[in-house]
Amino acid sequence: MTKSAGSEKRILIVNVNWIGDVIFSTPFIRAVRGAYPDGYIACLLHPRCVDILKGSPRIDEIIIYDEEGKHKGIIGKLMLVSYLRKSRFDIAFILHRSFTKALLTFLAGIKERVGYPTKKRGLLLTRTIDLPEEEAHKVEYFLGLARGFGIKMRENSYEFFVQDADRESVKKFLKERGIADNDRLIVLCPGGNWGPKRWSKKNFAGLADMLAGGLNAKIVLSGAKKDAVLVEDIRLIMKSIPVILCGLTTLKELGALLERANLVVANDSGPMHLAVAMKSNVIALFGPTSPGLTGPYGKGNYRVIFKNEECDVPCYDVSCSDNRCMKAITVEDVFKEAEKFIVDSL
Protein backbone atom coordinates (compact mmCIF):
# COMPACT_ATOMS: atom_id res chain seq x y z
CA MET A 1 0.00 0.00 0.00
CA THR A 2 1.72 3.19 -1.14
CA LYS A 3 0.87 6.69 -0.07
CA SER A 4 -1.15 8.48 -2.72
CA ALA A 5 -4.45 10.29 -3.08
CA GLY A 6 -5.85 7.17 -1.39
CA SER A 7 -4.23 8.24 1.86
CA GLU A 8 -7.08 10.74 2.30
CA LYS A 9 -9.77 8.07 2.13
CA ARG A 10 -12.52 7.76 4.71
CA ILE A 11 -12.17 4.43 6.48
CA LEU A 12 -14.49 2.55 8.82
CA ILE A 13 -13.14 -0.20 11.06
CA VAL A 14 -15.93 -2.46 12.30
CA ASN A 15 -14.51 -3.71 15.57
CA VAL A 16 -15.25 -6.63 17.88
CA ASN A 17 -17.30 -6.64 21.09
CA TRP A 18 -15.02 -7.55 24.00
CA ILE A 19 -12.36 -5.55 25.82
CA GLY A 20 -9.55 -8.06 25.31
CA ASP A 21 -10.38 -8.53 21.63
CA VAL A 22 -10.48 -4.76 21.04
CA ILE A 23 -7.01 -4.52 22.60
CA PHE A 24 -5.96 -7.23 20.12
CA SER A 25 -7.20 -4.98 17.31
CA THR A 26 -4.97 -2.03 18.20
CA PRO A 27 -1.96 -3.21 16.11
CA PHE A 28 -4.33 -3.46 13.14
CA ILE A 29 -5.62 0.08 13.75
CA ARG A 30 -2.05 1.38 13.97
CA ALA A 31 -1.21 -0.37 10.70
CA VAL A 32 -4.20 1.19 8.91
CA ARG A 33 -3.24 4.63 10.20
CA GLY A 34 0.30 4.06 8.94
CA ALA A 35 -1.03 3.23 5.49
CA TYR A 36 -3.45 6.18 5.47
CA PRO A 37 -1.70 8.94 7.47
CA ASP A 38 -4.04 11.62 6.10
CA GLY A 39 -7.17 9.49 6.03
CA TYR A 40 -10.25 9.84 8.23
CA ILE A 41 -10.51 6.70 10.37
CA ALA A 42 -13.65 5.85 12.35
CA CYS A 43 -14.25 2.78 14.48
CA LEU A 44 -17.63 1.13 15.02
CA LEU A 45 -17.57 -0.10 18.60
CA HIS A 46 -19.68 -1.67 21.35
CA PRO A 47 -20.40 0.77 24.23
CA ARG A 48 -18.49 -1.32 26.79
CA CYS A 49 -15.29 -1.04 24.72
CA VAL A 50 -15.26 2.71 24.03
CA ASP A 51 -12.64 3.52 26.66
CA ILE A 52 -10.18 1.08 25.07
CA LEU A 53 -9.87 3.30 22.01
CA LYS A 54 -10.89 6.66 23.46
CA GLY A 55 -8.01 9.11 23.19
CA SER A 56 -6.16 7.07 20.56
CA PRO A 57 -4.33 9.34 18.09
CA ARG A 58 -4.91 6.67 15.43
CA ILE A 59 -8.68 7.29 15.33
CA ASP A 60 -10.70 10.34 14.32
CA GLU A 61 -14.13 9.10 15.44
CA ILE A 62 -15.71 6.39 17.55
CA ILE A 63 -19.19 5.37 16.41
CA ILE A 64 -21.10 3.52 19.10
CA TYR A 65 -23.12 0.52 17.95
CA ASP A 66 -25.48 -0.21 20.86
CA GLU A 67 -26.90 -3.57 19.83
CA GLU A 68 -28.73 -4.07 23.13
CA GLY A 69 -30.01 -0.50 23.27
CA LYS A 70 -31.01 2.04 20.66
CA HIS A 71 -29.75 -0.09 17.73
CA LYS A 72 -31.44 -3.31 18.89
CA GLY A 73 -34.38 -3.42 16.46
CA ILE A 74 -34.68 -2.88 12.74
CA ILE A 75 -35.45 0.84 13.15
CA GLY A 76 -32.34 1.29 15.29
CA LYS A 77 -30.16 -0.51 12.77
CA LEU A 78 -31.57 1.58 9.93
CA MET A 79 -30.71 4.70 11.94
CA LEU A 80 -27.12 3.48 12.15
CA VAL A 81 -27.06 2.62 8.44
CA SER A 82 -28.30 6.12 7.64
CA TYR A 83 -25.51 7.65 9.70
CA LEU A 84 -22.87 5.45 8.03
CA ARG A 85 -24.26 6.33 4.60
CA LYS A 86 -24.08 10.07 5.37
CA SER A 87 -20.50 9.62 6.56
CA ARG A 88 -19.53 8.53 3.02
CA PHE A 89 -16.90 5.97 3.93
CA ASP A 90 -14.74 4.63 1.11
CA ILE A 91 -13.51 1.46 2.79
CA ALA A 92 -14.82 -0.75 5.60
CA PHE A 93 -12.53 -3.24 7.31
CA ILE A 94 -14.77 -5.71 9.10
CA LEU A 95 -12.90 -7.30 12.00
CA HIS A 96 -16.06 -8.81 13.49
CA ARG A 97 -17.01 -12.24 12.14
CA SER A 98 -20.77 -11.63 12.05
CA PHE A 99 -23.05 -11.54 9.03
CA THR A 100 -24.97 -8.56 10.43
CA LYS A 101 -21.89 -6.34 10.68
CA ALA A 102 -21.07 -6.99 7.03
CA LEU A 103 -24.70 -6.36 6.06
CA LEU A 104 -24.64 -2.94 7.76
CA THR A 105 -21.67 -1.83 5.65
CA PHE A 106 -23.35 -3.18 2.52
CA LEU A 107 -26.58 -1.29 3.23
CA ALA A 108 -24.56 1.83 4.02
CA GLY A 109 -23.23 1.78 0.47
CA ILE A 110 -19.56 1.58 1.44
CA LYS A 111 -17.86 0.82 -1.85
CA GLU A 112 -15.00 -1.31 -0.59
CA ARG A 113 -15.82 -3.88 2.09
CA VAL A 114 -12.96 -6.03 3.32
CA GLY A 115 -13.20 -9.04 5.60
CA TYR A 116 -12.90 -12.77 6.08
CA PRO A 117 -15.69 -14.81 4.44
CA THR A 118 -17.11 -16.06 7.74
CA LYS A 119 -20.83 -16.64 8.49
CA LYS A 120 -21.59 -17.06 4.76
CA ARG A 121 -21.17 -13.33 4.18
CA GLY A 122 -18.75 -13.52 1.25
CA LEU A 123 -21.30 -12.06 -1.19
CA LEU A 124 -21.57 -8.93 0.98
CA LEU A 125 -17.84 -8.25 0.72
CA THR A 126 -16.03 -6.69 -2.22
CA ARG A 127 -12.73 -8.20 -1.13
CA THR A 128 -12.53 -11.43 0.82
CA ILE A 129 -9.27 -12.26 2.55
CA ASP A 130 -8.35 -15.92 2.86
CA LEU A 131 -8.69 -17.25 6.37
CA PRO A 132 -5.42 -18.33 8.04
CA GLU A 133 -4.56 -21.94 7.23
CA GLU A 134 -3.73 -22.55 10.87
CA GLU A 135 -5.16 -21.00 14.01
CA ALA A 136 -3.21 -17.88 14.88
CA HIS A 137 -3.14 -15.43 17.74
CA LYS A 138 -6.03 -12.97 17.56
CA VAL A 139 -3.60 -10.12 16.88
CA GLU A 140 -2.33 -11.97 13.80
CA TYR A 141 -5.88 -12.88 12.79
CA PHE A 142 -6.75 -9.18 12.61
CA LEU A 143 -3.43 -8.22 11.02
CA GLY A 144 -4.12 -10.84 8.36
CA LEU A 145 -6.83 -8.55 6.98
CA ALA A 146 -4.33 -5.73 6.68
CA ARG A 147 -1.72 -7.94 5.02
CA GLY A 148 -4.32 -9.31 2.62
CA PHE A 149 -5.17 -5.75 1.64
CA GLY A 150 -1.52 -4.90 1.01
CA ILE A 151 -0.82 -2.96 4.19
CA LYS A 152 2.67 -3.52 5.58
CA MET A 153 3.26 -4.30 9.25
CA ARG A 154 5.81 -2.49 11.40
CA GLU A 155 4.66 -3.32 14.92
CA ASN A 156 2.40 -5.91 16.56
CA SER A 157 2.26 -4.65 20.15
CA TYR A 158 -0.91 -3.50 21.89
CA GLU A 159 -1.71 0.15 22.50
CA PHE A 160 -3.74 1.86 25.22
CA PHE A 161 -3.62 5.58 25.91
CA VAL A 162 -4.08 7.24 29.31
CA GLN A 163 -3.83 10.90 30.23
CA ASP A 164 -1.94 12.62 33.04
CA ALA A 165 -5.30 13.27 34.71
CA ASP A 166 -5.82 9.49 34.96
CA ARG A 167 -2.38 9.08 36.52
CA GLU A 168 -3.07 11.84 39.02
CA SER A 169 -6.39 10.24 39.99
CA VAL A 170 -4.65 6.95 40.66
CA LYS A 171 -1.88 8.65 42.60
CA LYS A 172 -4.57 10.29 44.77
CA PHE A 173 -6.43 6.98 45.24
CA LEU A 174 -3.25 5.28 46.40
CA LYS A 175 -2.07 8.12 48.64
CA GLU A 176 -5.44 8.20 50.41
CA ARG A 177 -4.99 4.49 51.12
CA GLY A 178 -1.44 4.78 52.44
CA ILE A 179 0.56 3.88 49.33
CA ALA A 180 3.40 6.28 48.53
CA ASP A 181 5.06 6.87 45.18
CA ASN A 182 8.15 4.90 46.19
CA ASP A 183 6.29 1.91 47.64
CA ARG A 184 6.58 -1.41 45.84
CA LEU A 185 3.11 -1.97 44.42
CA ILE A 186 1.72 -5.28 43.17
CA VAL A 187 -1.74 -5.43 41.62
CA LEU A 188 -3.72 -8.68 41.61
CA CYS A 189 -6.60 -9.05 39.15
CA PRO A 190 -8.50 -12.19 40.19
CA GLY A 191 -11.48 -11.72 37.86
CA GLY A 192 -12.28 -13.34 34.54
CA ASN A 193 -15.36 -13.41 32.38
CA TRP A 194 -16.08 -17.04 33.28
CA GLY A 195 -15.28 -19.17 36.29
CA PRO A 196 -12.89 -21.85 34.98
CA LYS A 197 -10.44 -19.15 33.82
CA ARG A 198 -9.99 -17.94 37.39
CA TRP A 199 -7.27 -19.05 39.73
CA SER A 200 -8.75 -19.89 43.14
CA LYS A 201 -9.53 -17.32 45.84
CA LYS A 202 -7.35 -19.27 48.28
CA ASN A 203 -4.39 -19.11 45.91
CA PHE A 204 -4.74 -15.39 45.28
CA ALA A 205 -4.96 -14.79 49.03
CA GLY A 206 -1.91 -16.97 49.72
CA LEU A 207 0.06 -15.27 46.95
CA ALA A 208 -0.90 -11.82 48.25
CA ASP A 209 0.41 -12.68 51.72
CA MET A 210 3.67 -14.08 50.31
CA LEU A 211 4.18 -10.98 48.16
CA ALA A 212 3.41 -8.64 51.04
CA GLY A 213 5.73 -10.45 53.44
CA GLY A 214 8.44 -11.83 51.18
CA LEU A 215 8.79 -8.89 48.79
CA ASN A 216 7.71 -6.07 51.10
CA ALA A 217 4.99 -5.09 48.65
CA LYS A 218 1.77 -3.17 49.01
CA ILE A 219 -1.04 -5.25 47.51
CA VAL A 220 -3.95 -3.89 45.50
CA LEU A 221 -6.89 -6.12 44.63
CA SER A 222 -8.48 -4.76 41.49
CA GLY A 223 -11.48 -5.63 39.38
CA ALA A 224 -14.79 -4.45 38.00
CA LYS A 225 -17.91 -3.86 40.11
CA LYS A 226 -19.07 -7.38 39.35
CA ASP A 227 -15.90 -8.71 41.01
CA ALA A 228 -16.63 -7.04 44.37
CA VAL A 229 -17.81 -10.23 46.11
CA LEU A 230 -14.88 -12.24 44.71
CA VAL A 231 -12.37 -9.63 45.88
CA GLU A 232 -13.99 -9.36 49.33
CA ASP A 233 -13.80 -13.15 49.72
CA ILE A 234 -10.06 -13.00 48.95
CA ARG A 235 -9.55 -10.16 51.44
CA LEU A 236 -11.23 -12.17 54.19
CA ILE A 237 -8.86 -15.09 53.63
CA MET A 238 -5.74 -12.91 53.63
CA LYS A 239 -3.59 -12.30 56.72
CA SER A 240 -2.10 -9.08 55.33
CA ILE A 241 -4.25 -6.04 54.58
CA PRO A 242 -4.74 -5.18 50.89
CA VAL A 243 -6.01 -2.04 49.24
CA ILE A 244 -9.22 -2.70 47.32
CA LEU A 245 -9.87 -0.70 44.18
CA CYS A 246 -12.58 -2.96 42.84
CA GLY A 247 -15.09 -1.01 40.75
CA LEU A 248 -13.62 2.33 41.88
CA THR A 249 -11.63 3.18 38.76
CA THR A 250 -12.53 3.96 35.19
CA LEU A 251 -10.90 1.81 32.51
CA LYS A 252 -8.42 4.64 31.86
CA GLU A 253 -7.60 4.90 35.56
CA LEU A 254 -7.17 1.13 35.69
CA GLY A 255 -4.63 1.47 32.87
CA ALA A 256 -2.79 4.13 34.87
CA LEU A 257 -2.87 1.91 37.98
CA LEU A 258 -1.40 -1.03 36.07
CA GLU A 259 1.24 1.28 34.60
CA ARG A 260 2.19 2.41 38.13
CA ALA A 261 2.44 -1.15 39.44
CA ASN A 262 5.79 -2.88 39.83
CA LEU A 263 4.03 -6.14 38.97
CA VAL A 264 0.59 -7.30 37.85
CA VAL A 265 -0.70 -10.85 38.35
CA ALA A 266 -3.88 -11.66 36.41
CA ASN A 267 -5.93 -14.43 34.91
CA ASP A 268 -6.61 -14.49 31.17
CA SER A 269 -8.74 -11.35 31.14
CA GLY A 270 -9.12 -7.83 29.78
CA PRO A 271 -7.10 -6.28 32.66
CA MET A 272 -4.22 -8.67 31.93
CA HIS A 273 -4.04 -7.47 28.33
CA LEU A 274 -4.45 -3.89 29.51
CA ALA A 275 -1.40 -4.37 31.74
CA VAL A 276 0.58 -5.72 28.77
CA ALA A 277 -0.50 -2.70 26.71
CA MET A 278 0.79 -0.41 29.49
CA LYS A 279 4.17 -2.20 29.36
CA SER A 280 3.78 -3.35 32.96
CA ASN A 281 5.54 -6.39 34.39
CA VAL A 282 2.85 -9.07 34.02
CA ILE A 283 2.38 -12.65 35.15
CA ALA A 284 -0.51 -14.15 33.19
CA LEU A 285 -2.22 -17.29 34.52
CA PHE A 286 -3.69 -19.60 31.88
CA GLY A 287 -5.65 -22.84 32.16
CA PRO A 288 -8.55 -23.63 29.82
CA THR A 289 -7.61 -21.02 27.21
CA SER A 290 -4.64 -21.03 24.86
CA PRO A 291 -1.75 -18.59 25.38
CA GLY A 292 -0.94 -19.11 21.71
CA LEU A 293 -4.33 -17.77 20.64
CA THR A 294 -5.29 -15.23 23.31
CA GLY A 295 -2.17 -14.79 25.42
CA PRO A 296 -0.03 -11.67 25.84
CA TYR A 297 1.48 -10.61 22.52
CA GLY A 298 4.04 -8.29 20.99
CA LYS A 299 6.67 -6.36 22.90
CA GLY A 300 6.26 -6.31 26.65
CA ASN A 301 7.49 -7.57 29.99
CA TYR A 302 5.31 -10.60 30.58
CA ARG A 303 5.53 -14.23 31.55
CA VAL A 304 2.83 -16.84 31.08
CA ILE A 305 2.26 -19.69 33.51
CA PHE A 306 0.42 -22.52 31.77
CA LYS A 307 0.48 -26.08 33.08
CA ASN A 308 -2.51 -27.66 31.35
CA GLU A 309 -1.20 -31.02 30.14
CA GLU A 310 -4.36 -33.12 30.25
CA CYS A 311 -7.27 -31.25 28.66
CA ASP A 312 -7.98 -30.00 25.16
CA VAL A 313 -7.14 -26.32 24.77
CA PRO A 314 -8.95 -24.08 24.32
CA CYS A 315 -11.75 -25.54 26.43
CA TYR A 316 -14.99 -23.60 26.77
CA ASP A 317 -16.74 -25.86 29.27
CA VAL A 318 -17.97 -23.13 31.61
CA SER A 319 -19.66 -25.77 33.77
CA CYS A 320 -16.34 -27.51 34.56
CA SER A 321 -16.13 -28.06 38.31
CA ASP A 322 -12.75 -29.83 38.36
CA ASN A 323 -10.69 -26.89 37.08
CA ARG A 324 -7.50 -28.96 37.33
CA CYS A 325 -5.82 -26.85 34.65
CA MET A 326 -5.83 -23.82 36.97
CA LYS A 327 -5.26 -25.89 40.11
CA ALA A 328 -1.99 -27.10 38.56
CA ILE A 329 -0.57 -23.60 39.03
CA THR A 330 0.70 -23.29 42.59
CA VAL A 331 1.24 -20.22 44.72
CA GLU A 332 4.95 -21.09 44.76
CA ASP A 333 5.03 -21.14 40.92
CA VAL A 334 3.73 -17.60 40.76
CA PHE A 335 5.83 -16.30 43.64
CA LYS A 336 9.03 -17.55 41.99
CA GLU A 337 8.18 -15.64 38.80
CA ALA A 338 7.30 -12.58 40.87
CA GLU A 339 10.68 -12.72 42.61
CA LYS A 340 12.44 -12.79 39.23
CA PHE A 341 10.60 -9.66 38.09
CA ILE A 342 11.39 -7.77 41.27
CA VAL A 343 15.07 -8.84 41.29
CA ASP A 344 15.45 -7.92 37.60
CA SER A 345 14.06 -4.46 38.29
CA LEU A 346 16.49 -3.69 41.14
Mark 247-261 as b/e (b = at least 16 C-beta within 10 Å). Answer: eebebbbbbbbbbbb
What mean pLDDT do residues 333-338 have?
97
For the chain, list the domains and their CATH numbers. Answer: 5-148 (3.40.50.2000), 164-345 (3.40.50.2000)
**Tens-digit pLDDT profile for residues 282-314:** 999 999 999 999 999 999 899 999 998 878 888
Share of the chain above pLDDT 70, in %: 98
Give 207 or 154, the one with higher predicted confidence: 207
pLDDT for the residue 322 = 82
pLDDT band at 344 (very low <50, low <70, confident <90, very high): confident
Residue 3 has a pLDDT of 41
Mean pLDDT for the chain?
93
Indicate if the pLDDT at residue 1 is higher than 60: no
- Summarize pLDDT for 32-44 with one digit per residue, the tens: 999 999 999 999 9
Question: What is the per-residue pLDDT for 68?
Answer: 87
Residue 4 predicted with pLDDT over 50: no
Beta strands in 190-299 (DSSP E): 218-223, 243-246, 263-267, 281-286
**Predicted pLDDT at 343:** 78
| Dmax (CA) of the chain | 64
Give me the mean pLDDT over the 68-88 stretch: 95
Distance CA 186, CA 242 (A): 10
How confident is the model at residue 6, as a pLDDT? 53
Kindly indicate the confidence band of residue 194, based on its pLDDT and cuts at 50, 70 and 90.
confident
335, pLDDT greater than 60 = yes
Radius of gyration, CA atoms only, the chain: 21
